[in-house]
Amino acid sequence: MTDISILMPAPMPEPVIAALDARFTLHRLWEQPDADAFLAAHGTAIRGLAANTLAGPVGAALFDRLPALEIVANFGVGYDNIDAGAAAARGIVVTNTPGVLDAEVADLAIGLLLATIRRLPQADRYVRDGRWEDAPFPLSPTLRGRTVGILGLGAIGQQIARRLEGFDVAVAYHQRTRRDDVAYPYHDTPVALAQACDVLIAIVPGGAATRHLVDAEVLAALGPDGILVNVARGSVVDQPALIAALRDRTILAAGLDVYADEPHVPPELRAMENVVLLPHLGSASEHTRAAMGQLVVDNLLSWFGRGTALTPVPETA
């Protein structure tokens, strides 16, 4: 397969680069002194694209420069960085990396929830600053007696729900359609879910359909004892509305792993003591990133070896 040209617009983990280099002719676009000139000279030969969020938007403008493109293998389960509709219109298959990161993201969501509600980062700073010698750390809120609403009960959402069952808390959910295979209470709008719970965990896909799904109305419904945890995409939450809700104590606290304009986090959020901020760590373990990278490689190998993709996204399946 070494005669098949694969384009990688932005860096991926070294094992992915090495595996693709060994099996294909891999072009590292970020190493080119003039990316436009490279695409003009070599774009017609590119048959596969290995993409991630660092590559920026992947859509019609790029596809038009790659007329032989057959497959976009995305590093990540979310693929809102890719215009799957434009790909489908051109007969290009898009793949992602579902399954292999579900447990890791669910673990992180639970950890972020506990860190937020029990104020663990703040307590750590309290000890490091030597303040414990002067007075005990203030009492924290609790998870006891709460109802946790899950916004998006897909594969990851279900794993979060199963973990929450071990904490003896009530679980409810909202997504576009009710599931027949779970017993959790269903609410038909995000506002209705927020009204019924005092913890809201967002784990829906990004993209236009979910942009600002958590807005000022949802946050107001969550209430002054409410906690928001976002492990979905930054676009899912109206970030200015969230900042206002935290500042005005419309809600109690938030735990955030994702932001509207990563890696830029607004100074207002960084200054708040009722927020726990993580640098998009959802799947960021060595084990899980290796599994994600292998699935990128395996999708390309399967497509060019057997003509089928292992994990095509619904728009291009």
Residues tagged active-site: 233, 262, 280
Nearest to 6 by CA among 31, 24, 22, 32: 24
- DSSP conformational letter for 129: T
DSSP-based three-state secondary structure for 130: coil
Residue environment code for 223-251, b if the CB has 16+ CB neighbours within 10 A, otherwise e: eeebbbbbbbbbbbbbbebbbebbeeebb
Q: What are phi and psi of 32, to 5 degrees?
A: -80, 135
* Burial class, 14, CB count within 10 angstroms (exposed 0-12 / middle 13-18 / buried 19+): exposed
For residues 22 and 31, the answer to whether their CB atoms sit within 8 Å is no
Residues 6+ apart with CB under 8 A from 121: 115, 276
